[in-house]
Amino acid sequence: MNDESIENSIEIGLSFKLSADDLKLIAIVQPCSDRIELTVEIVKARLKAAELSHLFINEYLVSELTECYNRSMTDKFAIEIGERRDATCEIVVSQDKMKAKLFLTPNFGGKSIELENIQKELNDKGIVFGISPMEEIEAILEKCHVSDFLIAKGIEPIPGIDAEFINLTPETVARKPLIDEEGNVDYRELGNIVTVKKDEVLMKRIPPIKGEQGRDVFGQIVEPSGGLDIPFSSDQIGVHVNPENENELLSSITGQPVVVPNGIIVTPVLTVKSVDLSSGNISFDGSVIVLGDVETGMKVRAGEDITIDGNVSNAQIECNGNLVIKGSVTGNSELVADGDISVKGGIHGYTEKEKKVFLAESKPTPSTTTPAEPTTPLKEYVAKLVARGSVFVGFAENFIIEAGIDIVVDKYSMNNNLMAANNIAVGNKTNKKSAIIGGITWAMLSVRTSLIGSSSGIRTRVQAGTNPYIQRRVSEIKDVLLQYHNERQNIHKILAWLENNPEKGNQETLDRLHHTLSRLVLDSEKNQAELKDLLSNMAVITGARVISERGVYVGSEIKINKAMMHVQENIGKSVFKEQKRKVVVIKDRVL
């Protein structure tokens, strides 16, 4: 159909007019014998020809017009499809009153916005400060349509600086083994605990600096933040403000400093002769020194360091600092520290047989129990030692040892599970008994020892490479995901059975099952996300090594990253590493 036929056709049965108030655009359809197939494009062309396209045209109503027109050849009707609209002007002020933005919409056959209209809007809003130059506003008016023109801007206040506090106490240095002039490392001497003396200046206070005021678009003053005159903490245990200088905090006693918000407190070191039934369990926020032993079933907790001059037997020790035990640890004791752990005399956990004997002997009997003696059964601890720092022990038997840095065993390790984020060293060349026998020894970087395994062929695994803590968490998550999967399967089976046997259930049961199912799905997704993140961070340690300075016995297993070697014959001095996904060994001689 050519343009001329369209012009003739679109006039048939279709006309337009304005409402009596000259604001609404109305399309009128009359019966006609030769109507065309009316489209939106034809309507727009007709409006343009009628010089009405400058009005606001409602696309939705135009579509409705074409549908009604094409639906019947005999109907007569009128439909509103547009209107005359004036331009609009709106000014929006930000929540902090520091900015005002102008929004303009164009006119559609109506009145346009003039500069006077914008000035009136500013006055009505009460905006009097930081208004943009009139030349910029006039230039914006020529664009007719603006969405976010910054028409006014306040002056931001300049923040002040609050009073500050400078800690003058000695820096807490990480306690590490001492090295003598000849380069020998003493893993049993880790240094002293930081203390302060009476009348020592612990903290200085720097007075505040006031800020500068600002002004918002309404011309109102905006006060600056900061500049607070903060005093020393009111929690002044073991300290006082210098009477000659209000900006200095002095120690009132000799003890251990503990930083608190806006201040410091000084707690004396708690010293006890021993920890037994006469002293009761010990819980102290500072450091604890035990001059004697920690007896069976007792607990010692400290907010800082713990030093025990004697032995620990079947006890629970926990501290937020370093733990030093100058004697030995026996039985199923639990030792936990946020810093390093040092046990100079070694650790010996119970075997299953020894544990049964101990528990049997520990049960109180009517003949031996007096009213003064407690009859509460002893808690059965796990023989475990966990440190975020490093672990140093004389020897280790039947223990779980976990370290965030290194594990150093002076003599030998027997039937232990050792796990370190960096390195593990067991024994030395001069000690003929130095060896790793039985259990699992796993370090991320390296494991070094004299001997691995024993002539009796005890299964001994030594592993290096990959982060053991990430690997353990991965295994835990996989177990949980498998459990969630099985639980979901069981719930689906129950729901299917209830669907076939509706009389056996009720709505409460169904709701509870669906709620549990939803929780399992959410928990599974959360664990899947954590597992994905862990796997992405599980790097292969290319330099991982297992070093045996004397040899490796049959029955030992050497694992580097994911590669495993089952030792089939005795091997002499060796260094194990991974090459092409296999464990290879460099050896000097046959054991």
Residues 93 and 146 in one domain: yes
Strands (E), 481-561: 545-552, 556-560
Strands (E), 115-235: 146-153, 164-167, 178-179, 185-186, 201-206, 214-215, 221-222
**According to the per-residue pLDDT averaged within each range, which of 29-38, 121-130, 172-181, 512-521 is highest?**
121-130
Residues 13 and 72 in one domain: yes
Residues 44 and 116 in one domain: no
Does residue 166 contact residue 204 with C-beta atoms inside 8 Å?
Answer: yes
pLDDT at 189: 38
Q: What is the rounded CA–CA span in Å between residue 527 and residue 533? A: 10
Q: Is 146 within the bounds of a domain?
A: yes
Q: Is 461 within the bounds of a domain?
A: no
Place of tokens 């559609």: 108
Boundary-marking domain end, from 35, 55, 83: 83
Residues 57 and 129 in one domain: no
Lowest mean pLDDT among 115-129, 174-188, 325-339, 472-486: 174-188
Q: Is 131 within the bounds of a domain?
A: yes
List the domain range (segments joined by +) for residue 53: 3-83
pLDDT at 377: 45
pLDDT at 406: 94
Nearest partner of 539 among 471, 590, 493, 591, judged by Cα: 471
% of the chain residues with pLDDT over 70: 87
Q: What is the pTM of this model?
A: 0.51
Q: Is 295 within the bounds of a domain?
A: no
Residues 72 and 136 in one domain: no
Q: What is the pLDDT of residues 466-501, one digit of tens each?
A: 777 777 777 788 888 898 889 888 988 888 888 788
Q: What is the rounded CA–CA span in Å between residue 146 and residue 75? A: 43
Residues 483 and 498 in one domain: yes
Residues 113 and 58 in one domain: no
Q: Is 22 within the bounds of a domain?
A: yes
pLDDT at 380: 53
DSSP letter assigned to residue 372: T
% of the chain residues with pLDDT over 90: 38
Residues 7 and 62 in one domain: yes
Nearest partner of 94 among 46, 154, 34, judged by Cα: 154
Residues 146 and 96 in one domain: yes
Residues 103 and 124 in one domain: yes
Q: Is 73 within the bounds of a domain?
A: yes
Residues 477 and 526 in one domain: yes
Compare 68 and 185 and report the one with higher pLDDT: 68
Task: Count the Cβ atoms, other than its own, within 10 Å of residue 150.
Answer: 12
Lowest mean pLDDT among 75-89, 353-367, 452-466, 483-497: 353-367
Q: End-to-end distance of the chain based on CA atoms, in angstroms? A: 102
Task: Count the Cβ atoms, other than its own, within 10 Å of residue 260.
Answer: 14
Q: Is 227 within the bounds of a domain?
A: no
- 505 phi/psi in degrees, rounded to 5: -125, 180
Boundary-marking domain end, from 22, 57, 83: 83
Amino acid at 385: L
Q: What is the rounded CA–CA span in Å between residue 390 and residue 342? A: 8
CA distances from 267 to 216, 238, 259, 320 (A): 50, 7, 11, 15
CA distances from 576 to 285, 550, 586 (A): 46, 13, 7
Q: What is the rounded CA–CA span in Å between residue 407 and residue 447? A: 9
Query: Which residues contact residue 429 at a Cβ distance below 8 angstroms, ignoring those fewer than 6 apart?
Result: 450, 549, 550
Q: What is the pLDDT of residues 273-285, one digit of tens each?
A: 999 888 788 887 7
DSSP helix/strand/coil, 564: strand
Residue 79 has pLDDT above 80, yes or no: yes
Residue 209 has pLDDT above 60, yes or no: yes
Taking all residues of the chain, what is their mean pLDDT, rounded to a whole number? 83
* Structural domain count of the chain: 3
Q: Is 15 within the bounds of a domain?
A: yes
Residue 63 has pLDDT above 70, yes or no: yes
CA distances from 479 to 84, 470, 484, 485, 528 (A): 69, 14, 9, 10, 12
Q: Which two tokens stand for residue 332?
A: 């199923």
Mark residue 466 as left, alpha or beta (left: phi above 0; alpha: psi -120 to 50; beta: remaining).
left
Nearest partner of 462 among 411, 424, 408, judged by Cα: 424
pLDDT at 186: 42
Q: Helices 134-143 and 115-125, interaxial angle, to 10°?
A: 120
Q: What is the rounded CA–CA span in Å between residue 51 and residue 271? A: 100
Place of tokens 């900061």: 226
Residues 100 and 130 in one domain: yes
- 470 phi/psi in degrees, rounded to 5: -65, -45
Boundary-marking domain end, from 508, 536, 564: 536
Residue 362 has pLDDT above 70, yes or no: no
Residue 6 has pLDDT above 60, yes or no: no
